[in-house]
Structures are given as C-alpha cells and as structure tokens.
Amino acid sequence: MTTLALPFAATAAARPGLDIGPAARTAISLACFTLSFLALWALARWALGLAPDVSFYAKLPIVIHVAAVLPTIPLGGWLLLAKKGTPMHRSLGKVWMGLMVVTALSAIFIKTSGSFSWIHLFVPLTLHAAWKVMQTARKGDIRAHKAHLVRTYLTALLIPGLFAFALPGRLMHVLAFG
C-alpha cells in the first residue's frame, strides 16, 4: 500500500504548512494541553474563591509575568501545530515572541528570598532564543527557525511551567492545588 491509499499516513513533508514530525507534534500537543488545562484549572479555582489567599503574590513583576506567560501556552501550541507562513502565523508569531520576551524580562525582577534561583537560567535562554528565531526567520532559514521555536516552546515554557505547578509555594501551585 502506498501513502496515497492511506491518507492518514502522509508524511509531514507531503502536507505543506504542517512541517514538524509526529513526535514533535505529539510532544507539543501534550505540553500545550497539559499546561493550558492546569492554567485554566488554577484560574478557575481562583475565580471561584476555591484557592487560598494569594495576595502575597500581588507584586507587579509577578502579575506582569503571569499575565504575559499564560497566553503564550495555547498561542505557541497553536502556532507550532497550525499552517505555517500565513500572514496570521507571522503576526501571531510576533505577538507570541513579544510575550515571551516580556515573560523573561519580568522574571528578572522576581526573586525568592532576595536572590536569583536556578529557574532564572531560563531568562537568558529565552532571550537568546528570541534573537535566534528572529535572525533565522529574516535570513529565510526556516529549518533553523522551526528548530529554535520547537526547542523554545518545549524548554522555555514546558520545563518552567511544569515546575511552576509542581513546586509548593509557587503561585500556580497554590492556585491549582491549594
């Protein structure tokens, strides 16, 4: 049987615009769904008054950080999974990258116990990735552009995002699990 006989078995190369492989698509889909679900769960608990008092976290850098990072989770997932190269993809990609830069810069001002922690290592990673993503897109090196974006989504969002929910004392953990 050929791939013509099995349309669901078509490769990513045969589908223009859907240019990432099945393993990356699966990882991105799982990361996007899991983090989006956890974020919605945490926000719903807070909105319904089911979460403990979080007034301790009501500091401007934390508010900016959370407000910038929450939309990047579903938006980044959609950008990586949807058709590429369209005007909407380009416009929303710029919005996503701007939100990622705001997220990284605001994290500089969030310090537990007065100093930086290991999670601040993601600040230069994210800023470097933003520069590389723009540089490769402007050069027309779409393969490198795609690779940087997939890595950025999975490392700069997934790893810190999971730790935000997993570590007791962090705002998202408090909102989601009390």
pTM of the model: 0.82
Contact between residue 157 and residue 103 where contact means Cβ atoms under 8 Å apart: no
At residue 21's C-alpha, the angle toward residues 19 and 27, to 5°, is 115
CA distance 78 to 147: 16
Q: What's the token pair of residue 124?
A: 């230069």
Q: What is the pLDDT of residue 17?
A: 52
Q: What is the pLDDT of residue 9?
A: 39
- What is the tens place of the pLDDT at every residue in 112-161? 777 788 888 889 999 999 999 999 988 989 889 988 888 888 888 888 88
Please state the separation of Cα 175 from the chain's center in Å.
Answer: 19
In which residue ranges of the chain is pLDDT below 50?
1-16
